[in-house]
């Protein structure tokens, strides 16, 4: 006897596709640049990032994030950071100021659903934030601009503190370590994974091909060089955002250490069986790369993706960014900032147009040969050569 199936209304499990909002795998990390290494297209990024900067936002967009949930303030009001605006303009759902418990209740790789700022695992809400729009971001940016003068004052104070701590290094080069790579009298290309670094590297290809500069990658800048088809000669940084592939490519390694004796990247280098030189300094890794190149006699320093403006300094979220300002003064006329060079000039002649121009020129030259006496002589000579070749071929088989 067949037992009938009992159907209870309302107990049918709904498919995720039937539910409102965005349902996807969650990638969660307090370090945005670490998260973007494993974030895949269509996934939801859960981050803890005060003042989402431009580079981080562009990386999230490039990874194809469907949504970004931030448990911190995406625009704190310190300065008008561009990250949230970039996310909104790219069509990424941006939820800001979410409940910090998300980092306890969501594990990396969980499937979650995001709807109206609420994060669900199954049918259970595990966190909530504020969905941002173009209007809300614009309003927050307007308020942040009003407080920029305070940040300028703080920046000036940080600059004076850095001068006090690092005057021996800045003035006399005291503390710069010895390295194997020779920089004396050579051009040096320093690459930081900053604004427009890909475009600028592509634009600099003729310069790189002609001058063969020493390649220095600053943390993730080493991966940028590898992606562009170049092999770095030196890698400088604390090595928290550089791949194992770059660290084992054969480049000489310089670990950014701190004045209190810490060198966070040294342990990772030892685990990979590599040796490294430690450069203790208060500033940033891009600063010590410039100071190293200058101290070792580089003729010219070309910087790609580095920070040059006040907003870019503040975008890094570090008081120590004042060191970059002073380092640029120290290096002086040796330094050429290539950031944005790709936007300075772009050829207005496309490849198809250039090919058409060549074809037209060849047709014009052919027509000129046909109607000129000299051209007639050339054509007659070519005709004789062709006839001679035909007679020779016929003779082989007769």
Same domain, 182 and 88: no
DSSP 14: P
Same domain, 107 and 121: yes
Among residues 99, 123, 145, the one where a domain terminates is: 145
The reply to whether 376 falls in a domain is: no
Indicate the pairing of strand 277-280 with strand 252-257.
parallel
Helix or strand run (H / E) with residue 157: helix 148-172
What is the rounded distance in angstroms from the CA atom of residue 347 to the CA atom of residue 165?
47
Same domain, 134 and 168: no
What is the rounded distance in angstroms from the CA atom of residue 159 to the CA atom of residue 29?
32
Among residues 344, 360, 375, the one where a domain terminates is: 344
Same domain, 57 and 32: yes
Same domain, 93 and 137: yes
The reply to whether 196 falls in a domain is: yes
Residues of the chain with pLDDT under 70: 1-18, 147-148, 151-152, 155-156, 158-175, 307-325, 329, 339-351, 354, 369, 374-375, 396-398
How many helices and strands, by DSSP H and E, does the chain display?
17, 15
The reply to whether 357 falls in a domain is: no
What pLDDT sits at residue 173?
Answer: 55
Cross-strand partners of 25: 111
What pLDDT sits at residue 14?
Answer: 45
The reply to whether 180 falls in a domain is: yes
19-50 residue pLDDT tens: 788 999 999 999 998 899 899 999 999 999 99
Same domain, 124 and 161: no
Among residues 303, 320, 344, the one where a domain terminates is: 344
Q: Which of 231, 273, 270, 275 has its CA nearest to residue 253?
A: 275
Helix, strand, coil percentages, rounded to 5, for the chain: 45, 15, 40
What is the rounded distance in angstroms from the CA atom of residue 160 to the CA atom of residue 323?
10
Helix or strand run (H / E) with residue 320: none
What pLDDT sits at residue 388?
Answer: 77
Cβ atoms of 346 and 308 within 8 Å: the answer is: no
Same domain, 276 and 187: yes
Same domain, 246 and 338: yes
Q: How far apart are the first and last CA of the chain?
A: 95
CATH classification at residue 92: 3.20.19.10
144-188 residue pLDDT tens: 877 667 766 776 676 666 666 666 666 555 568 899 999 999 999
Cα dihedral across residues 207, 209, 214, 218: positive or negative: positive
Cross-strand partners of 45: 27, 68
User: For residue 203, what are its two tokens?
Assistant: 């634009």
Count up the domains in the chain and report the number: 2
What pLDDT sits at residue 120?
Answer: 96
Same domain, 56 and 194: no
What pLDDT sits at residue 3?
Answer: 38
Helix or strand run (H / E) with residue 370: helix 351-371
Same domain, 175 and 103: no
What pLDDT sits at residue 19?
Answer: 79
The reply to whether 379 falls in a domain is: no
Same domain, 137 and 159: no
The reply to whether 266 falls in a domain is: yes
The reply to whether 255 falls in a domain is: yes
Residue-number span of the structural domain to which 48 is assigned: 16-145
What pLDDT sits at residue 263?
Answer: 87
97-124 residue pLDDT tens: 999 999 999 999 999 999 999 999 999 9
The reply to whether 309 falls in a domain is: yes
Same domain, 230 and 325: yes
């Amino acid at each position: 006897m067949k037992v009938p199936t009992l159907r209870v209304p309302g107990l049918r499990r709904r498919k995720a596709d039937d539910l409102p909002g965005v349902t996807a795998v969650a990638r969660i990390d307090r370090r945005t640049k670490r998260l973007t290494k494993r974030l895949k297209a269509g996934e939801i990024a859960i981050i803890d990032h005060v003042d989402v900067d431009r580079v981080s936002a562009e990386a999230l967009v490039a990874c194809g994030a469907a949504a970004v949930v931030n448990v911190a303030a995406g625009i704190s009001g310190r300065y008008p950071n561009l990250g949230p605006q970039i996310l909104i303009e790219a069509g990424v759902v941006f939820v800001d100021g979410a409940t910090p418990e998300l980092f306890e209740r969501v594990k990396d790789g969980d499937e979650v659903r995001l709807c109206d700022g609420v994060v669900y695992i199954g049918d259970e809400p595990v966190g909530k934030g504020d969905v941002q729009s173009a209007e809300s971001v614009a309003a927050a940016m307007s308020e942040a601009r009003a407080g920029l003068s305070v940040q300028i004052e703080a920046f000036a104070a940080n600059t004076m503190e850095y001068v006090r701590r690092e005057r021996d290094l800045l003035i006399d080069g005291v503390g710069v370590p010895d390295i194997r790579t020779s920089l004396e009298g050579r051009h040096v290309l320093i690459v930081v994974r900053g604004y427009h670094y890909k475009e600028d590297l592509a634009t600099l290809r003729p310069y790189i091909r002609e001058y063969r500069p020493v390649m220095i990658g600053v943390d993730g800048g080493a991966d940028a060089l590898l992606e562009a088809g170049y092999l770095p000669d030196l890698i400088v940084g604390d090595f928290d955002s550089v791949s194992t592939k770059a660290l084992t490519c054969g480049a000489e390694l310089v670990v950014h250490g701190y004045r209190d004796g810490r060198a966070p990247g040294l342990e990772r280098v030892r685990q990979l069986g590599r040796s490294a030189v430690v450069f203790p300094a208060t500033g940033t890794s891009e600063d010590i790369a410039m100071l190293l190149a200058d101290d070792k006699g580089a003729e010219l320093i070309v910087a790609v993706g580095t920070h040059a403006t006040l907003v870019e300094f503040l975008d890094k979220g570090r008081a120590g960014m004042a060191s970059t300002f002073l380092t640029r003064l120290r290096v002086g006329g040796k330094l050429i900032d290539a950031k944005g060079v790709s936007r300075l000039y772009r050829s207005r002649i496309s490849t198809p147009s250039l090919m058409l121009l060549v074809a037209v020129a060849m047709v014009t030259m052919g027509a000129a040969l046909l109607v000129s006496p000299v051209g007639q002589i050339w054509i007659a000579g070519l005709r004789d050569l062709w006839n001679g070749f035909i007679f020779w071929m016929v003779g082989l088989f007769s």
